[in-house]
C-alpha cells in the first residue's frame, strides 16, 4: 500500500519552487495510488498531469509583452512570487494544495466573487505547479456539478467544483441532488462571506448567507464551514473520506473569503492530514454463507443488479458469482454491471424469469420493489446494499419500501468475493450437471431475446422520424471497433444498446442521472469525456433535446476545453415523458385528449441544435431527418471527435 507523508509546511515555504515541482510530480502520482488503492478501489490508471489542459491563452496582464515566449511555469512563478511579496502565502494556495493532495485533478466552476481567492490560486498556482489542478470553466453551476458527476463515474474518484455563495449553489443544487441519488462522489466548494463588515455593497449582502450548505444538507453526505486553514484541511480529508466510502455521495465545504484571501498565519502552512486507505464495508461470513445456501438451494434464483459494479472489479466479480450459480442476471442499468452479451444476461427475459423466481438477490438496488414486482409473493428476497448504511429522510429517493428476508447493509461489490466463495463451497458435486443445464437453457434464452430484439429493431427501419433502434444501430456501426464509452442512460432509446450492442468493459456504460433531474447529461457527458480522454477512449452520448436545453452552455465549455465528445441529440421535439403523463390524466378526464401537446412539445419554432452548437464553436450537423443520412453524418462528426474536439449531431427521432 502506498503511503503518503504529510507535508509539515507549505512547499513554497520550505523548498525552492523548482525542487518542489520535481518532487510534487512524483508525490502526486503516489497520492493517487493511495487514494484509489485497496480492495474496493478503481483500477483505472491515472496519468499524473497530462490530462490537465494547458490554458490556451493566459489572461491579459500589463506586462504581457514581456511574458511572450516564457514557459508557463516561469510566468506562474513570477506571478506567484509577486503575490507572495504583496501579502505572504495566500490561504487559498494552501487550499489548492489540500485539494490536490486528495488526488483531485480538476476544479470546474463559474466564477463568483465569494471564491475569488481560490479562483486566483487555481489559475496562478494550481494550474502552473505540479501536480496540476486543472480548471474547467463553465457557464452554469448545474453544468460544473454534473461534470463532476460524470467524471467520477468513469474515473472512480471525485472532481472538485466551486460555486458562488447563495446564487451559485442554488444553481448547482439540483445537480448535487442527482449525484446524491446516483451515489456519486462530488467534492463541492462554495464561497462564503462570514464577516459582514467585508460586504462592500448591496450585491454582497444579497449573496451572503449565514448557513449556505443548509440548502443542500438533505442531499449531501457531509458539509462544513471551516473557521481556520487547519480546520479546512481536516474537513477536506474528512469530506473526501465520506464521499468515497460506500454509499458514495457529494460533500460540500463552504470557504470563508477571509480564509481564502488572507495570508497563512505565520507564513507556515498547517500539515495536511494523511489520506486513509478507504476500505468499503464487506459482508460478514455467516450471513454470506446463509445467502449462498439459499441461492444454491433455489430452483429459480435471480440476481438483480443496479449500482452493483462501482468499479471494473465489481463487473468481474458479478460475472464470477453468476457463472458459479449459472443464475440469470437482470440488469437495472444503474451502472455497467454485467456484459450485455453474456449468456447469463437475462435482462430481456426479466418478467418471465421473475414470475418463476423463488430466491431473488438484489445488489445495490434503488427500486427493489418495482424491479422484483413480477415475482410471486412467496419468493425470498435478499438485499445487499450500502444504501442501508446511510440515508436521510426528507427527500424520498430511497424509493418504495421492499419487504426482504435478509438485508445485508454492506457494499455489494466488496461483498461479492466472499459470497461467491460461499456459493462455490455450497454447491455439491451432484448439483453441477443441473447447473450446467440451467446455464445452457439461459444461453438459448439470451440468444432468443437477441433475435427478438433484432426483429423489433427492424420495425419502421426506414421511418421518419428515425426510430431509436435505427439511431442506435447507425451509431454502433461507426463506433463498434473503437474503445467506446456510451455515457447516457438508455431508457429513452428503449434500451437498444443493451439489447443489441456488444459491451463488456466497465467504462462502456455508466447509468443515468440518479434523480432524473433534467440538465444532467450535457455536463455529465463532458465530465465522462474528460476522464475517458486520458485513457484514449471515445466518448459518445445520446441525449434528449429537452435535457440539452436546460444546460446548453456545456457546448461552450466543450469547445473551450477541446474535450472530445460526440453528442447525438435524440430530438423528439418534446418533453416526451410529460406528453405521456398529461395524456394519462387527460384520458382520465375525457376532455381534450388532443391538446396534450400544449406545454409539452418543443415546436413552433423547432430549435436548430446544430446552429446552437456552431454558435459556441462546436461542430454541429442537422437536423437529420433522413435515416440514410445518419450514418454519414455520424462519420463526419467522429472525424472531428477523433481530432480531439467535440461534435454534435441533431437527429429527429421517435419519442422512445
Partner 1 sequence: MTPTAPRLKLSLASLPLVTGAAALIGGAAALIGALTGGAALIGGAALIGSAVPTGVAIAQAATPAGNAQRGQHLYLAVGCYECHGTTGTGAITGPKIAPNPIPFPAFIYQLRHPLGAPSYGNIKMPAYGEAVLSDAQVADLYAYLASIGPSPPASKIPLLNR
- Interaction of residue 460 with partner 1, rule CB under 8 A: yes
* Calpha distance 366→306 (Å, rounded): 7
Choice between 76 and 517, CB closer to partner 1: 517
Q: Which residues, listed in sequence order, are joined to residue 302 by a DSSP beta bridge?
A: 360
Q: Whose Cβ is closer to partner 1: residue 332's or residue 565's?
A: 332
Residue from 105, 256, 474, 512 in contact with partner 1 (CB under 8 A): 474
Q: Which of residues 594-613 bind partner 1 (CB under 8 A)?
A: 594-597, 601, 603, 606
| C-alpha cell read off for 378 | 412467496
Binding of residue 638 to partner 1 (CB under 8 A): no
User: Which segment (31-39, 88-96, 375-383, 491-499) binds partner 1 by CB under 8 A?
Assistant: 491-499
636 binds partner 1 (CB under 8 A): no
CB of 584 to partner 1, least distance (A): 5
Which of the ranges 49-57, 166-174, 254-262, 463-471 carries the binding residues for partner 1, by CB under 8 A?
Answer: 463-471
Number of other residues whose CB lies within 10 A of the CB of residue 81:
12
Taking CB under 8 A as the rule, does residue 136 contact partner 1?
no
Does the footprint of partner 1 cover residue 396 (CB under 8 A)?
no
Q: Of residues 353-372, which lie at the interface with partner 1 (CB under 8 A)? A: 370
- If one asks whether residue 63 binds partner 1 (CB under 8 A), the answer comes out as no
Nearest one of 214, 215, 193, 190 to 204, comparing CA atoms: 193
Question: 270: closest CA among 563, 608, 599, 7?
Answer: 7
| Residue 455 found at the interface with partner 1 (CB under 8 A) | yes
Residue whose C-alpha is closest to residue 446's, from 365, 494, 502, 511: 502
Assess 433 for contact with partner 1 (CB under 8 A): no
Other C-beta atoms within 10 Å of 477: how many?
Answer: 13
Residue (212 or 544) nearer to partner 1, CB: 544
The residue whose grid cell reads 458562488 is 164
Q: Where are the alpha helices (DSSP H) in 182-228?
A: 202-206
- Which letter does DSSP use for residue 266 in this model? G
Binding residue for partner 1 (CB under 8 A) from 89, 160, 500, 528? Answer: 500
Q: How many CA atoms lie within 13 A of 564 on its CB side?
A: 20
Considering only the stretches 146-154, 219-227, 315-323, 647-655, report the one whose residues sit in contact with partner 1 under the rule CB under 8 A: 647-655
DSSP line for 566-615: EEEEEE-SB-HHHHHHHHHHHHHHTS-GGGTTTTTB--SSPP-HHHHHHH
| 399 half-sphere exposure, CB direction, 13 A CA radius | 16
Least distance in angstroms from the C-beta of 82 to partner 1: 58
For partner 1, the binding residue among 165, 235, 347, 494 (CB under 8 A) is 494
Enumerate residues 6+ apart whose C-beta is below 8 A from 306: 332, 333, 334, 335, 337, 362, 363, 364, 365, 366, 367, 371
590 binds partner 1 per the rule CB under 8 A? yes
Q: Which is nearer to partner 1, 170 or 583 (by Cβ)?
A: 583
Interacting stretch for partner 1, rule CB under 8 A, among 148-156, 273-281, 327-335, 648-656?
A: 648-656
Which is closer to partner 1, CB of 60 or CB of 592?
592
Q: How far apart are the first and last CA of the chain?
A: 48
**Grid coordinates 447516457 are at which residue?**
488
Nearer to partner 1, 196 or 584 (CB): 584
Residues that bind partner 1 (CB under 8 A): 370, 454-465, 467-468, 470, 473-474, 476-477, 480, 491, 494-495, 500, 573, 576-577, 579-581, 583-584, 586-588, 590-597, 601, 603, 606, 625, 652, 654-656
Amino acid at each position: 500500500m502506498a503511503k503518503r507523508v504529510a507535508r509539515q509546511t507549505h512547499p513554497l515555504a520550505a523548498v525552492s519552487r523548482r525542487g518542489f515541482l520535481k518532487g510534487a510530480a512524483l508525490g502526486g502520482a503516489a497520492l493517487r495510488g493511495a487514494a484509489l488503492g485497496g480492495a474496493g478501489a478503481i483500477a483505472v490508471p491515472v496519468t499524473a498531469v497530462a490530462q490537465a489542459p494547458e490554458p490556451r491563452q493566459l489572461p491579459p496582464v500589463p506586462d504581457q509583452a514581456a511574458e511572450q515566449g516564457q514557459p508557463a511555469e516561469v510566468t506562474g512563478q513570477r506571478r506567484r512570487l509577486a503575490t507572495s511579496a504583496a501579502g505572504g502565502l495566500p490561504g487559498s494556495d494552501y487550499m489548492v494544495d489540500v485539494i490536490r493532495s486528495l488526488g483531485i485533478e480538476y476544479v470546474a466552476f463559474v466564477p463568483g466573487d465569494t471564491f475569488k481567492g481560490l479562483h486566483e490560486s487555481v489559475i496562478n498556482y494550481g494550474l502552473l505547479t505540479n501536480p496540476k489542478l486543472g480548471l474547467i470553466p463553465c457557464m452554469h453551476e448545474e453544468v460544473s456539478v454534473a461534470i463532476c458527476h460524470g467524471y467520477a463515474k468513469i474515473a472512480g474518484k471525485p472532481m472538485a467544483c466551486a460555486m458562488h455563495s447563495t446564487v451559485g449553489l442554488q444553481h448547482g443544487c439540483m445537480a448535487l441532488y442527482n449525484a446524491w441519488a446516483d451515489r456519486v462522489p462530488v467534492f463541492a466548494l462554495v464561497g462564503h462571506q462570514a464577516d459582514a463588515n467585508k460586504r462592500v455593497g448591496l450585491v454582497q449582502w444579497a449573496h451572503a448567507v449565514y448557513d449556505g450548505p443548509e440548502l443542500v444538507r438533505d442531499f449531501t453526505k457531509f458539509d462544513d464551514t471551516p473557521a481556520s486553514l487547519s480546520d479546512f484541511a481536516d474537513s477536506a480529508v474528512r469530506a473526501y473520506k465520506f464521499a468515497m466510502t460506500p454509499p458514495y455521495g457529494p460533500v460540500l465545504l463552504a470557504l470563508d473569503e477571509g480564509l481564502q484571501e488572507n495570508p497563512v498565519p505565520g507564513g507556515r502552512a498547517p500539515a495536511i492530514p494523511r489520506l486513509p486507505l478507504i476500505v468499503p464495508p464487506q459482508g460478514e461470513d455467516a450471513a454470506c454463507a446463509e445467502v449462498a445456501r439459499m441461492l444454491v438451494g433455489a430452483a429459480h434464483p435471480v440476481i438483480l443488479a443496479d449500482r452493483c459494479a462501482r468499479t471494473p472489479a465489481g463487473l468481474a466479480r458479478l460475472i464470477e458469482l453468476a457463472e458459479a450459480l449459472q443464475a440469470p442476471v437482470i440488469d437495472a442499468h444503474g451502472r455497467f454491471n454485467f456484459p450485455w452479451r453474456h449468456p447469463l444476461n437475462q435482462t430481456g427475459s426479466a418478467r418471465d424469469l421473475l414470475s418463476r423466481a423463488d430466491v431473488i438477490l438484489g445488489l445495490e438496488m434503488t427500486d427493489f420493489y418495482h424491479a422484483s414486482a413480477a415475482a410471486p409473493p412467496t419468493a425470498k428476497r435478499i438485499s445487499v446494499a450500502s444504501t442501508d448504511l446511510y440515508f436521510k429522510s426528507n427527500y424520498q429517493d430511497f424509493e418504495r419500501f421492499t419487504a426482504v428476508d435478509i438485508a445485508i447493509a454492506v457494499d455489494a461489490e466488496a461483498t461479492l468475493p466472499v459470497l461467491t466463495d460461499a456459493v462455490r463451497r455450497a454447491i455439491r458435486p451432484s448439483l453441477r450437471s443441473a447447473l450446467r443445464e440451467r446455464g445452457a437453457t439461459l444461453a438459448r434464452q439470451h440468444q432468443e431475446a437477441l433475435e427478438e430484439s433484432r426483429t423489433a429493431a427492424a420495425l419502421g427501419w426506414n421511418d421518419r422520424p428515425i426510430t431509436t433502434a435505427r439511431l442506435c444501430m447507425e451509431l454502433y456501426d461507426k463506433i463498434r471497433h473503437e474503445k467506446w464509452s456510451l455515457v447516457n442512460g438508455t431508457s429513452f432509446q428503449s434500451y437498444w444498446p443493451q439489447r443489441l450492442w456488444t459491451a463488456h468493459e466497465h467504462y462502456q456504460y455508466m447509468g443515468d442521472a440518479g434523480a432524473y433531474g433534467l440538465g444532467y447529461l450535457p455536463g455529465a457527458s463532458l465530465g465522462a469525456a474528460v476522464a475517458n480522454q486520458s485513457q484514449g477512449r471515445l466518448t459518445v452520448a445520446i441525449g434528449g433535446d429537452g435535457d440539452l436545453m436546460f444546460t446548453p452552455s456545456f457546448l461552450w465549455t466543450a469547445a473551450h476545453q477541446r474535450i472530445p465528445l460526440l453528442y447525438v441529440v435524440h430530438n423528439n421535439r418534446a418533453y416526451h415523458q410529460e406528453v405521456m403523463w398529461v395524456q394519462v390524466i387527460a384520458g382520465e378526464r375525457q376532455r381534450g385528449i388532443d391538446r396534450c401537446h400544449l406545454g409539452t412539445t418543443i415546436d413552433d419554432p423547432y430549435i436548430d441544435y446544430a446552429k446552437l452548437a456552431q454558435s459556441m464553436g462546436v461542430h454541429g450537423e442537422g437536423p437529420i431527418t433522413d435515416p440514410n443520412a445518419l450514418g454519414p453524418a455520424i462519420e463526419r462528426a467522429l472525424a472531428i471527435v477523433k481530432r480531439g474536439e467535440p461534435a454534435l449531431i441533431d437527429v429527429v427521432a421517435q419519442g422512445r
